[in-house]
Amino acid sequence: MSKMVKKKGGGDEGAPGWIVTFADLMSLLLTFFVLILSFAEIDASKFKRVMGSIKMAFGVQEHKIYEFMESSRTPFEKKSRGKDSDKVIQSNMNNHVLSVNANELCGLEEKANQIQQEKNDVAHFELHKKLNAETRLTKYFKILLDKDNGRIKVAIKPEKFFYPGTTRLRKERVDDLNLLFKKMADKELKVHITNHASNLSSKSNFKSWKLASERSLTLAYLSKKFPQTKNHQIDVKSLTEGLGDDPEKIEFDIQIK
């Protein structure tokens, strides 16, 4: 009897049978996710939250307008007549272009303003402390911190600054005024030199208020002559209601820009 000879080095048996089923499952899974994406719509509210998270992560950025498309149908559609093309066109879509101010919608602008306000409050506090530390200034100026309105108020004593009944400034007080602005030279400020009276019914009150108005103009003119005030915005406000009963009162209303 002839013996059966086992062949060696035969051909490859090929991939296992399960691999075909596995490949089919992966193809179907990919198709499933493509279908989900094709039916998906852009959720405007989620888009805003995502943009907000991105902007918060990278800090408050420059004010920009973002435009995006919101559609009820897929934006992926082949070109007509079945021609091959690398381009993706949008057609027969219920498009809605929304202009979104990301800062306002995400509350970032409000947050940025709040942060800036907090910085200004700290700067006002430090400046108030710095001015009050100067004995020469506290002798002739009354320096107050107005926390509610975010500013510093520096009231002067008119009888110490001006000759009685005139707008002539005492020479020695010019140096004190110069020192006040030197202490604030490193800041950019809005300075309102203000006088006010809530009652001008009497002739004497009106005369005092008028004199204080003229003295305020004198102080403004002189203050603008100082080289350290070049970065400051200085103006005069002469008010007749709501702020005080002393018609001779003059104060510097100082606010950091």
- Phi, psi angle pair for 46, to nearest 5°: -65, -40
In this structure, what token pair is assigned to residue 15? 């991939």
Q: In 3D, which of 62, 55, 63, 92 has the Cα closest to residue 77?
A: 92
The reported pLDDT for the residue numbered 193 is: 92
The reported pLDDT for the residue numbered 44 is: 67
The reported pLDDT for the residue numbered 85 is: 44
Task: Identify the CATH number of the domain defined by range 117-256.
Answer: 3.30.1330.60
State the CB neighbour count (10 A cutoff) for residue 56. 13
Residue 11, pLDDT > 60, answer no
Domain extents in the chain: 18-78+93-106, 117-256
Q: Per residue in 106-123, pLDDT tens? A: 566 777 778 888 888 888
The reported pLDDT for the residue numbered 74 is: 46
Residue 238, pLDDT > 60, answer yes
Q: Using alpha carbons only, what angle is made at residue 17 by residues 16 and 23, rounded to the nearest 5 degrees?
A: 95
Residues 6+ apart with CB under 8 A from 241: 196, 198
Mean pLDDT check: name the lowest of 42-51, 213-222, 247-256: 42-51
Query: Is this structure's pTM higher than 0.75?
Result: no
Q: Which amino acid is at 24?
A: D
The reported pLDDT for the residue numbered 36 is: 84
Q: Using the Cα atoms of residue 219, residue 225, residue 226 and residue 229 in order, give the sign of their dihedral.
A: positive
Q: Does residue 104 or residue 174 have the better pLDDT?
A: 174
The model's confidence at residue 97, banded by pLDDT at 50, 70 and 90, is: very low
The reported pLDDT for the residue numbered 136 is: 87
Residue 56, pLDDT > 50, answer yes
Mean pLDDT check: name the lowest of 4-8, 165-169, 181-185: 4-8
CA 156 to chain centre: 34
The model's confidence at residue 70, banded by pLDDT at 50, 70 and 90, is: very low
Tell me if 48 sits within 8 A of 102, measured CB to CB: yes
